A = this chain, B = another copy of it.
Amino acid sequence: MSETNPNIAVAFYKAVIEGRVEDAFRLYAGSPYRQHNPLIEDGMEGLRKVVTWLTDARCEIKRVFADGDHVILHSHWHGLSDNPRGEAVVDIFRLEGGKVLEHWDVIQPIPETSANANTMF
C-alpha cells in the first residue's frame, strides 16, 4: 500500500486487531500516542493491555474518510461484547509525518430493532 494517511491508519488498526501491537507501533505509530478511549491507557502499553479483548473479535471496515491529518473509520465489530448484532464504531486517528499519534472512538451496541430498514451502516 502507498503511504497515504488512510493506508497507514488502516494498517495500524488491522495490526492492533490482529494482536501485533508492537509491529503496529514500530511501523505506523509515533510517541507519545494519545489515547481518548476511556478504557485504554495512553501509549503502546495501553493497547497491549487491552488487545486480549480482541482475540475473538472481528471487524469489518465499512468506510474510510480522510481530512488532512485525520483519518476516520466507520466499522462494524462483532465480539467486543456478547451482543449478537455487534457494535457500530467510529475511530478517528490523527497523524503527523505518516505516524499515528492520537486516537478517539465512539462505540454503540447495535439495537435489536430499528425504525428504518437501512441498518446502522
Tier of interface size on chain A? 35 or more
A118 at the interface (CB under 8 A from B): yes
A88 at the interface (CB under 8 A from B): yes
Contacts of A70 in B (CB 8 A): 63, 65
Q: Is the CB of B67 within 8 A of A116?
A: no
Name the contact of A104 in the complex, choosing from B39, B111, B120 (C-beta under 8 A).
Answer: B120
- Given A38-B115, A115-B40, the answer on whether A104 and B121 have CB atoms closer than 8 Å is yes
Task: List 18 extra interface pairs beyond A34-B118, A38-B113, A108-B108, CB under 8 A.
Answer: A35-B116, A36-B116, A36-B118, A36-B119, A38-B110, A38-B111, A39-B114, A41-B116, A67-B67, A67-B72, A74-B92, A74-B104, A74-B106, A88-B104, A90-B92, A104-B120, A106-B107, A106-B120
